[in-house]
């Protein structure tokens, strides 16, 4: 999470603008931006990975890992490796559970709106692609690129792997920040980030415009940075519908510098 861990990540070699309105940095059309979504509790209405851990663990060992992670004592890779050791589930039983998960009811119309503006958003998640891709599929969402951690099944054990770690970042399992840059071949494109949690703090600090709720919003509140608070994706939809053709400067003038609590 702390930026000092990210000193030589590709994005931080670029000029990273603050979220305060700076006209020269913010002269962009938000209709021509890259849009990144977190998945759990952003596109879904709760944290699916937490739900799986609670539902499929054979003991309560996951709680200690969760607490250590929240306290910042361990990174999310160590946390997830520890938590997955207690899970017993097969592809079949997990899919049965995943079949019950629905998306934020506004996600599909938001996706259609973004696509109508030529934006195909990208999902960056610190969960696992098996879960995310299945949930998207059963909800009829196609064609979205997903960057997430991986699992393979060994009997009823889930073995994680982490293709997107960043050796310079001790906080993230999937360091989403690196994938913001990988897909942003056109350096003129600005980054819009939508998320809710601790794993979003790292990438959100590199975004030009941030929609935040829950823990991510709390973090922006503590650090007194600008963002757009949202309750559900209906708020994000309304924003793009109303202001989707604004320049970045105008967009940022509508952000809220959330006050510290």
What is the size of the binding site for Mg ion (CB under 5 A)? 5
Backbone phi and psi for residue 111, each to the nearest 5 degrees, phi listed first? -60, -45
| Closest-CA residue to 124 (of 198, 60, 200) | 200
202 binds, among Mg ion, Zn ion, none (CB under 5 to 8 A by kind): Zn ion
Q: Give the residue with the Cβ less far from Mg ion, 40 or 246.
A: 40
Pattern of binders to Mg ion over 27-56, x per CB under 5 A?
-----------x-xx---------------
173-202 binders of Zn ion (CB under 5 A): 175, 202
Smallest distance, Mg ion to C-beta of residue 199, A: 7
Residues with Cβ < 8 Å from 204, sequence gap 6 or more?
193, 195, 210, 212, 216, 220, 227
What residues numbered 178-207 form the site for Mg ion, per CB under 5 A?
196-197
Pairing of strands 191-195, 157-161: unpaired
| The one segment of 21-29, 166-174, 206-214, 239-247 that binds Zn ion by CB under 5 A | 166-174
The closest of 170, 161, 169 to 73, measured between CA atoms, is 170
Min CB(116)–Mg ion separation in Å: 26
Helix and strand numbers, DSSP H then E, in the chain: 12, 8
Question: Distance between CA atoms of 75 and 48, rounded to whole angstroms?
Answer: 19
Q: Please state, in angstroms and rounded to a whole number, the distance separating the CA atoms of residues 143 and 3.
A: 32
Between 38 and 246, name the residue whose CB sits nearer to Mg ion: 38
* 6 or 217: CB nearest Zn ion: 6
Per CB under 5 A, residues contacting Mg ion are: 38, 40-41, 196-197
Per CB under 5 A, residues contacting Zn ion are: 169, 172, 175, 202
């Amino acid at each position: 999470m702390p930026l000092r861990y990210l000193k030589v990540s590709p994005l931080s070699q670029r000029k990273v603008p603050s979220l305060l309105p700076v006209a020269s940095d913010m002269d962009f059309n938000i209709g021509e931006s890259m849009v990144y979504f977190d998945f759990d509790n952003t596109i879904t209405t709760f944290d699916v990975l937490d739900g799986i851990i609670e539902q499929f663990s054979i003991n309560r060992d996951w709680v200690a890992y969760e607490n250590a992670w929240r306290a910042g004592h361990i990174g999310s890779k160590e946390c997830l490796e520890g938590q997955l050791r207690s899970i017993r589930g097969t592809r079949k039983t997990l899919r049965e559970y995943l079949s019950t998960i629905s998306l934020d009811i506004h996600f599909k119309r938001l996706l259609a709106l973004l696509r109508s503006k030529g934006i195909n958003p990208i999902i960056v998640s610190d969960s696992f692609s098996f879960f995310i891709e299945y949930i998207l599929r059963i909800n009829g969402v196609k064609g979205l690129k997903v960057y997430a951690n991986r699992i393979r099944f060994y009997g009823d054990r889930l073995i994680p792997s982490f293709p997107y770690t960043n050796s310079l970042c001790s906080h993230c399992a999937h360091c989403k920040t690196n994938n913001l840059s990988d897909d942003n071949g056109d350096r003129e494109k600005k980054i819009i980030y939508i998320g809710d949690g601790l794993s979003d703090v790292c990438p959100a600090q590199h975004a030009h415009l941030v929609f935040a709720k829950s823990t991510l919003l709390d973090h922006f509140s503590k650090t007194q940075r600008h963002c757009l608070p949202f309750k559900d994706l209906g708020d994000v939809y309304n924003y793009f519908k109303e202001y989707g053709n604004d320049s970045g400067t105008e967009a940022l003038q509508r952000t809220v510098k959330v006050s510290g609590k």
